[in-house]
Amino acid sequence: MLEGKKNGSAAAQDSALSAHKVGDFIGDMKDELAKVTWTSREEMQLYIKVVVLSTLVFGLGIYVADLLIQSVLFGLGTLVRVIGG
């Protein structure tokens, strides 16, 4: 019967230790987040504009390259048909 109390006491200590670790972790996390320099709203809006514009420009470039490749391949196909009969 004495073992049951000992195990229950050890479980309570483990639970208290675990809760203490979680509390320490949350406190440390808050301290680290306070050290972070956050991007301003204006900077973030600028970065978003740059990303959207870059995406559009690169997408347009890929589209133009695709059209060029299609035209060259179509021209080669036509040339082969004319020469080959």
Q: What is the pLDDT of residue 10?
A: 65
49-52 long-range contacts, CB within 8 A, separation 24+: none
CA distance 85 to 79: 10
Q: Is the pLDDT of residue 5 over 60?
A: no
- The model's pLDDT over 8-28, given as tens digits with 9 standing for 90+, comes to 566 666 676 677 788 888 999
pLDDT of residue 82: 92
* pTM (predicted TM-score): 0.54
Alpha-carbon distance of 6 to 57, in angstroms, equals 70
Whole-number Å distance between alpha carbons of 75 and 83 = 12
Q: How far is residue 78's CA from residue 70's CA, in Å, rounded to a whole number?
A: 12
